[in-house]
Structure 1
Amino acid sequence: MSPPDPRAETRTLLGAQLVFNIGFYAVIPFLAGAMGTEYGLDAAAIGLVLGARTFSQQGMFLFGGLLADRWGPRRAILTGCLVRILGYATLAAASDFPLFLLGAVLTGAGGALFSPALESQLSHADQPPAGGPGPGGAGRRSVFVWLAITGELGAVLGPVLGTALLGWGFDAALAAGIAVFALVTVLLWFRLPADPGRPPRGRDAVDAGTGRPGPALECLRNRRFVVFCLLAGTNMLAYNQLYFTVPVDLGRRGLDAAWLGALFLLASALTLLLQLPVSALGRRMGPGRALSAGFLLVAAAFATAAVTSVPAGASESSVLPVMATVAVLILGHMLLTPTILSLIPGFLPSPGAGAGRGAYYGLAATCGGVAVLVGNAGLGMLLELTARHHWWPGTPWIPLALLALLAAAALPVVLRGHGRDRSSVEAPSRTAP
């Protein structure tokens, strides 16, 4: 029997990412409104449900990556789809807070199983062919750039589908989401090749004699990789400000929520139009310089936000400085996320298929989630103190700019002697909704 065509498998995974994002963004952006208007939950309950969904996904990425290594990517991806279907079905059946909370946790857990397995499987296709140029070599574009584009298309088309279905109620959007994920599951069941044999048990998870992590948790013992993940997590914290401090800044300027939608549209348009050329530029620069340049752009975005900030209720406020902040931030994000994800296989002790790359991708995502959790908590307190004591309105942006500058300076040092510097620098901007 001839081996499966890797190009066909890559196309299948890219199509799955597109449909998976459509199903996610057709429902989740409207969840808070539906819980409040259709089911009468208060703000505290809604916040807890949304927070539980995010934490169950970000906090379980490492676990999902470990399962991908133990089960194989195919089984982990299919399980992730089924768990998300179960989560949406629970939300559809919910009429009180406990079921909404359970549905949100299952929805997040499905993403935590799906994304690390898909990224680790695609990373094999991103490796250079034997005797050929690396993924970053001339004439060969990384597969990850197409994952970026398909993921962003799903993030744009999903809300359009959700908005069209909301006229029939939130249950209609949930039913459409279930149908979308069922379609993905059937497609992947028939199209993905069978996983290779699972690794042996025993010392694979924990060394019984010492209690120390075995090969399955080798990523936690790789100190250089942990430092890399902690610094790189600044990228996710920075991108998350589109959901946190940017809306606060719009509120200070007296601009309504319609402008926030316009800013998200700007971010999507820039990603779809510029991901290819930005990735090509990063490939020519090399990973160290690309990381420095990306974080310098992020620092410049936050410096712009600080310098142009206004006190609450300022008259004649313009949206242009906020648009400039978002545009520069997205340019940096397009350069950073690809570089970070493409460098992860180089930290593996062995480049083989069973080297545990799912856990490495999972740890990187989990560190980003921790950075968002801790960073946003600190920023929230700083925003409150700034308003209470009438500090300079740009104060909350300064720590973000300083963190970006620290990452720009430190990451090239961490990458010195990087095992396999195959600088493919194209990867998804929004692969783990």
Structure 2
Amino acid sequence: MSTAPASRARRALADHRVIAVVVAIQLAISLGYYAVMTHVVAHLHHDLGLLAGVVTVVLTVRVAVQNMLFLPAGVLTDTIGPARTGALACVLRAAAFALLGAAEGVGGLLVAVVVMAVGGALFHPAAQSVLAGTAPSHRSRGFSAYVIAGQVGAVAGPPLGLLLLAGGFGLLSAVTTGAWVAGAVLFLLLLHRPAPHPGGSTDRVRPNVRGFAAGVSAVFRDRGFLRFALIAAPSTLLTSQVTTVIPLKEADSGTTTLFFCAVALVTAAIQPWCGRRGDHPRLLRSGLLCAGAGYLVLLATPSDHRSRIAVLLAAAVLHGLAAGIMQSALFQAVARCAPSGRFGAYTGLLSFLSGAFSLAGGFVIAPLFNIGGWGMAAAMTVLGLLAVLSALALPAPEQRKASVLEATGRV
């Protein structure tokens, strides 16, 4: 009679350990990533003497390659297991940052950013697949802690990078390389974790080409999820374009820094609430509407300094809510929809479509930013309306039929 409660207690303890390891990985690599990436443009432009256009091309290559690889990376995660995929991702990212610190020309930089892109495409489905393998009662809160760790890295990473930069960009890249190596070691600790909760990811799938092809085929045959992913695709564009809007709109670096710190703090602060409600199908619609409202509020920025700060902080709160809610809602949507052992493929498809939409949308909106004045107002209006239209068109993702059986333990 006492066997079942004891088994559940052991499983809960194992889930907590898994979540702690993933959160530790996220914190280490986020600190390293933001420490370097905040200062990499200045290094490429001032230290290496590259033209601004060349710097833009180098960084765009990373984004484009990473976006293209999300789907195959997600399927690979299902095929060889998230722990192995995560360790590989961290090793590649470590090599990329080491190359970035040593590169002195465009050729070396392109190799570094391509390797970085491959590692980034592998990391996200791997880490989230591990979390998706925990019990539903732990999954939402685990992902919330994962997001909070990332936001801590986003806030603390840039000043840490500035401190290390006193010893040169080589020292900064070396420390970041060490953080990603530590992430690889922590992922390897997850190889021997207990079997995932039914419906989650697994490390016990044998690698084979047929399994890889089946993963791609399975996600494209799911018409309901494909429709959901297409309508939710603007989410990345809506959360990323504000990083372009604010620096172009506000020349004051102090105000810009305040804005992004406020976004990160709100994103982290909303996570405990999202952890309790992240599986609500309508939560994503709220996040999209917050993003749309954030852009529309920025349209009304007054010239008075005090009023300007108040409006920018209001917009920062809305964008922080949007980012925090959408991350949690999309993770839970994939967890509800993905069949057992297919979380990587499903999140890979969603990330691929979101990344492709963000890249294409950036090229469309960029000319409006260049116009200035009415052009920027038009860009923010387009982004705001896009968020509202996506929210109105968004269907509730269809939960897989097996989930009822899994919830009652009859699988």
How would you bin the TM-score normalised by the shorter chain? 0.7 to 0.9
Residue 295 in structure 1 maps to residue 288 in structure 2 = yes
The residue that corresponds to 2:237 in the other structure is 237
* Whole-Å separation in 2 of the counterparts to 1:196 and 1:83: 20
2:205 aligns with one of 190, 198, 202:
198
The residue that corresponds to 1:398 in the other structure is 381
The residue that corresponds to 1:335 in the other structure is 325
1:68 aligns with one of 63, 77, 85:
77
1:25/1:291 Cα in 2 relative to 1: closer, same or farther (>3 Å)?
same
1:319 aligns with one of 306, 309, 318:
309
SS at match of 2:73: helix
**Length-normalised TM-score, structure 1:** 0.81
Report % sequence identity: 25
**C-alpha deviation, 1:418, in angstroms:** 6.6
SS at match of 1:125: coil
* Residues 11-410 of structure 1: pairs in structure 2 closer than 5 A: 11-128=20-137, 142-193=141-192, 196-199=203-206, 201=208, 203-206=210-213, 214-250=214-250, 255-280=251-276, 282-283=277-278, 287-306=280-299, 308-309=300-301, 318-348=308-338, 350=339, 352=340, 354=341, 356-384=342-370, 387=372, 391=374, 394-410=377-393
**C-alpha deviation, 1:177, in angstroms:** 0.7
Say which is worse superposed, 225-234 or 271-280, in terms of deviation.
271-280
SS at match of 2:104: coil
1:244/1:419 Cα in 2 relative to 1: closer, same or farther (>3 Å)?
farther
* Whole-Å separation in 2 of the counterparts to 1:217 and 1:117: 20
2:364 aligned partner, one-letter code: G
* Whole-Å separation in 2 of the counterparts to 1:262 and 1:277: 24
**C-alpha deviation, 1:326, in angstroms:** 2.1
**C-alpha deviation, 1:45, in angstroms:** 1.4
1:196/1:404 Cα in 2 relative to 1: closer, same or farther (>3 Å)?
closer
1:98/1:277 Cα in 2 relative to 1: closer, same or farther (>3 Å)?
same
What is the CA deviation profile of residues 343-379 of structure 1, one whole-angstrom value per residue up to 9, with x for unaligned ones? 112222x3x2x3x211111111112211211111111
What is the CA deviation profile of residues 212-235 of structure 1, one whole-angstrom value per residue up to 9, with x for unaligned ones? xx3443212322212212222222
Cα RMSD, aligned residues only: 2.6
* 1:22–1:157 contact (8 Å) kept in structure 2: yes
What is the CA deviation profile of residues 271-294 of structure 1, one whole-angstrom value per residue up to 9, with x for unaligned ones? 2333223544x45xx623322222
1:419/1:88 Cα in 2 relative to 1: closer, same or farther (>3 Å)?
same
Q: How many residues align?
A: 385
* 1:57–1:108 contact (8 Å) kept in structure 2: yes
Structure 2 residues not aligned, in runs of 5+:
1-9, 194-201, 405-411
* 1:72–1:196 contact (8 Å) kept in structure 2: yes
* Whole-Å separation in 1 of the counterparts to 2:296 and 2:364: 18
The residue that corresponds to 1:425 in the other structure is none
1:223 aligned partner, one-letter code: R
* Whole-Å separation in 1 of the counterparts to 2:77 and 2:331: 17
What is the CA deviation profile of residues 10-68 of structure 1, one whole-angstrom value per residue up to 9, with x for unaligned ones? 21111111111112112111111101111111112111111112222222121211111
**C-alpha deviation, 1:174, in angstroms:** 0.4
* 1:346–1:419 contact (8 Å) kept in structure 2: no
**C-alpha deviation, 1:417, in angstroms:** 6.5
* 2:126–2:344 contact (8 Å) kept in structure 1: yes
**C-alpha deviation, 1:419, in angstroms:** 4.7
1:279/1:245 Cα in 2 relative to 1: closer, same or farther (>3 Å)?
same
* 1:249–1:309 contact (8 Å) kept in structure 2: no
* Whole-Å separation in 1 of the counterparts to 2:108 and 2:376: 41
1:161/1:90 Cα in 2 relative to 1: closer, same or farther (>3 Å)?
same
* Whole-Å separation in 1 of the counterparts to 2:286 and 2:253: 32
Of Structure 1 and Structure 2, the greater helix share is in 2
**Length-normalised TM-score, structure 2:** 0.85
* 1:126–1:142 contact (8 Å) kept in structure 2: no
2:270 aligned partner, one-letter code: L
* Whole-Å separation in 2 of the counterparts to 1:318 and 1:113: 41
